[in-house]
Chains A and B, each alone.
Chain A
Amino acid sequence: DSGVTQTPKHLITATGQRVTLRCSPRSGDLSVYWYQQSLDQGLQFLIQYYNGEERAKGNILERFSAQQFPDLHSELNLSSLELGDSALYFCASSNGYEQYFGPGTRLTVT
């Protein structure tokens, strides 16, 4: 158990809808990272937050957004969902150089 929690574990929704994925970092970790893992793209870095502020952006679509709240939990919002957004979404947290991953949210868009 990494200490990082993600909810929900599974999510099934229709195209065009919007969903919110939630992540709670390990106690004391200020950084939160979001990743998307799909069969064709592998593990892709989406975005990083540090203590509430956006720090780095990766391959994140404009339809996706994230934020980190004062209690350090983070949410990833995915809107206007397309079939191709079906993937595993991981959150990781860190207080240094090592990242600790949550169990992921499996999103299925039908």
Chain B
Amino acid sequence: AQSVTQPDIHITVSEGASLELRCNYSYGATPYLFWYVQSPGQGLQLLLKYFSGDTLVQGIKGFEAEFKRSQSSFNLRKPSVHWSDAAEYFCAFLTGGYQKVTFGIGTKLQVIP
């Protein structure tokens, strides 16, 4: 079955520390992959995407993600976290001819001083 797994429901990091949010997908081919961020009470904002080509993609707000085909992973990283990064992060992939997006369950990021 097609699915996205975000194994960490909740992560706490100190401000200034590095961050890695994990995402694994299950799909028969390489899907189009996305990371979205949702701040409290807000809609989802697209952070970055991977369609093909360079497996390290840069996004907004200093985030990057690396696609690893062998591990079916698309982990999100940031070298130094800011308090404003506290939010919920969703990994997602696009499949099918009708552009159906499947979302992971989300990872809530807490940033402590």
Contacts and interface: CB of A to CB of B under 8 A. Distances in A.
Count class of interface residues, chain A? 20 to 34
Contacts of A98: 34, 46, 49
Contacts, number: 53
Nearest to B49: A98
B44 to A, nearest CB: 4
A45 B51 CA distance: 21
Interface string A18-61: 00000000000001010000000011010010100001101000
A43 B101 CA distance: 10
Interface in B86-113: 90, 94, 96, 98-106
B103 A43 contact: yes
Given A56-B96, A98-B34, A98-B49, A45 B101 contact: yes
Across chains A and B, which 4 residue pairs bring their CB atoms closest together, nearest first?
Answer: A56-B98, A101-B43, A101-B44, A43-B103
A47 B106 CA distance: 21
15 contacts: A2-B43, A42-B104, A42-B106, A43-B44, A45-B102, A48-B98, A48-B99, A50-B98, A55-B99, A56-B98, A58-B100, A90-B43, A90-B44, A101-B36, A101-B45
